[in-house]
Structure 1
Amino acid sequence: MKPQVDFYILHTQTRQASTRLSCQLVDKAWHQGYRVYIQTHSIAQAQQFDVMLWIFKEESFLPHDIYPDVLSSAPIQIGYTEQVCEGFDVLINLTEAVPPFFDQFKRIADIVDDTHKAREAGRNRYRFYSRKGLMLKTHEIHR
């Protein structure tokens, strides 16, 4: 079965909106019982996202670790390499490229920031997924 790809197109200039939306998607997927893998472009971004998951909601905790630095059974993993944990359902892509392991997931959430560079990279990812025959949905987010 091919994954469904949801593109979240942000209409805002703040970086916080992208991070907040990503945390909300992680929270929603995890509470629906999915195992979530977040792909970042660097260890620094992975560490920043790790901090955001700790402070995202005061009243709840999202069990997570940074992969492959910490090998655990946490249902949420933040990665920054081309390695991936197996057995995860949802991929949240925070990079400008299609992760090479995209086809291992049931769902992919692709965040597109409101900059020219990010939109162009998002269009390239959209075309890639379309050529692969994946089901694509687009969500316009105004914040």
Structure 2
Amino acid sequence: MPRADFYLISKPRFREEPLRLVCELARKAYETGTPTLVLARDAAQAEQLDDLLWSFDPDAFIPHQIVGVDADEDEAEVLIAPPDANVPLRPIVINLRDDAVEGTFERVLEVVPADENARGPLRERWKQYQALGLDVNKHDM
């Protein structure tokens, strides 16, 4: 059964730099050998995440790239897709956009902001995933 995992930001290091949590999630997926797609909110966020994946941990190497930038994107374990990129879903999808992910995947990972005022849309998304029959889980980070 597909699952939706909501990661609630609470630790100071993730509050200061929420994309750091995305890097940690991408690393965990990479370590399991599971191809991952990150749905970036916009092109600027895609580039910011691309840079951070190189630098967030000096001991970590996560093969990644932004869709449409390089020709060999099938080989990258982690693909970062700006909104205008048309790319098939992968087994793990890290969703940074405003809408629920629809389609076929094993897991969708949602990063929930620390700001209580920004959590409303994610509560709706939780209900959407439940309605689609996904196994929904919450993790405090």
TM-score (norm 1): 0.86
- Contact 2:37/2:89, CA 8 A, preserved across alignment: no
Once the two structures are TM-superposed, the CA of residue 78 in structure 1 deviates from its matched residue by 0.3
Percent of aligned pairs sharing the same letter: 28
Q: 1:5 is matched with which residue?
A: 4
Letter in structure 1 aligned against 2:93: L
Alignment deviations for residues 81-122 of structure 1 (CA, whole Å, 9 cap, x no partner): 2645336210011123213xx322111111101113421011
Alignment of 1:56 onto 2:64: no
Q: 1:86 is matched with which residue?
A: 88
Q: 2:33 is matched with which residue?
A: 33
Letter in structure 2 aligned against 1:22: V
Closer, same or farther: CA 105–84 of 1 in aligned 2, 3 Å: farther
- Secondary structure, counterpart of 2:52 in structure 1: helix
- Contact 1:96/1:118, CA 8 A, preserved across alignment: no
Matched positions, count: 137
- Contact 2:113/2:119, CA 8 A, preserved across alignment: yes
Counterpart Cα distance in 2 of 1:82 and 1:111: 21
- Secondary structure, counterpart of 1:28 in structure 2: helix
Letter in structure 2 aligned against 1:95: R
Residue segments in structure 1 that go unaligned for 5+ positions in a row: none
- Which of structure 1's runs of 4+ aligned residues deviate more than 6 A? none
Alignment of 1:67 onto 2:49: no
Counterpart Cα distance in 2 of 1:135 and 1:60: 30
Counterpart Cα distance in 2 of 1:118 and 1:3: 25
Residue segments in structure 2 that go unaligned for 5+ positions in a row: none
Letter in structure 1 aligned against 2:119: R
- Secondary structure, counterpart of 1:68 in structure 2: coil
- Contact 1:40/1:95, CA 8 A, preserved across alignment: yes
For the aligned residue pairs, the C-alpha RMSD in angstroms reads: 1.8
